[in-house]
Chains A and B, each alone.
Chain A
């Protein structure tokens, strides 16, 4: 019996030692630490992160000299997401960065006690996520819905219905659908939105939209849908229906066009914002969140050609070519 107790005690001691050594290693540096909590492995979110670091550099801050970064990826796991954020707070990070809404919310919550400034990137609706009050600022990736509708009207003058796929569990998608439905009539469109509860249902939902004979698809920044974009494109290409993306990566994959956000640029914009806070020039609580005001039009000419979408000369001239 005593032997067992000893065993357990030593096990506990080992766990604590492991923790202590890990903590010591990570605490050795005295430079201010920027804790970056990225919600999931995703090209757009990766662009946000690299853009953010580039933005800091553009603002004159050098990694290793002015700050160090601790990048963590939550792998879309809500438990891990919360624990990463609280770890940053426990280690008294100088600044916490949340990429995508869940991570931003977790960081902001964990930062409450020590009042660590939080900067978010790619939060579509900061007000709905309660990220407008307090020591927090960042950039919103609200979709340029009007610009997208205008673009679709120019490329497909006869189109009547736009099909949209979205995942019910993504709040950004739900609010974006509402905006689409509100603005579509003024461009002469009706919206056919199909929501799914799980990613596995996306192909079925795509089939149902195709069966409803929508004139085109328009994508949101919905991870559940974007992750399986290739299989959606296979179906729509076979049916001869063009798909409009919500950002450049989707156009590269084969969407015809997009009035969209460049997440790398969004990252740079946020990096510059963060630099102000790090330098002590401004407080996060005093900086209102920023939205992207300028959108690029991205065009995949090969896809347009295949689907017989004729691109007006003015659009073609101003657009960024984003063929694969």
Chain B
């Protein structure tokens, strides 16, 4: 269970560029939920993810994970229980290192990185199986540097790495936005499969309304730091992309966009 309670966040306070993103924002994400978040630019989607991960700090309110406040924890401490995939495939992997080394790093997440060998021979078959499951032919490229892979391959690898160790939440930050439609579809299917198989609680920010409607168990729409639409369960299953699009356009017009 993730709870965001009464959050306030102001960028550049006291400056002419002052922007209030959230003022009294609250949201609860129960375990096992796959939440899609949509909203126009500047509605606070990415800020919300950054606040949860600790990349930025709130000016008021509190964030609880499993009932415990995490406000005092640094971003890398929170990362122990959170997997995150970014829009830019380059952010989830190390380009100068091989696939094998990247996977070895990911498997060591959250534990001390000591002086034992980073790559364990005994795990290679296991990695190969994981890569085979991706269906991208990466299982034969273990010693290839990640920098020479395509964006889609890198994003698939990033997704795999983010979910390799047990985590409480998976955070997907427009993770298909930088990919071509075909690759995006593949990654989206893979995401859905991983979330189901590992029974992950996930939060996905996306601009693709169709993905938001087709995948996940709950959908919310943000506008100016408020939840303006929230649907789950049977209602969500009946939801059509056109309905959300209509709502989206109406709100955008109200905003004068």
Is there a contact between chains A and B in the complex with CB atoms less than 8 Å apart?
Answer: no
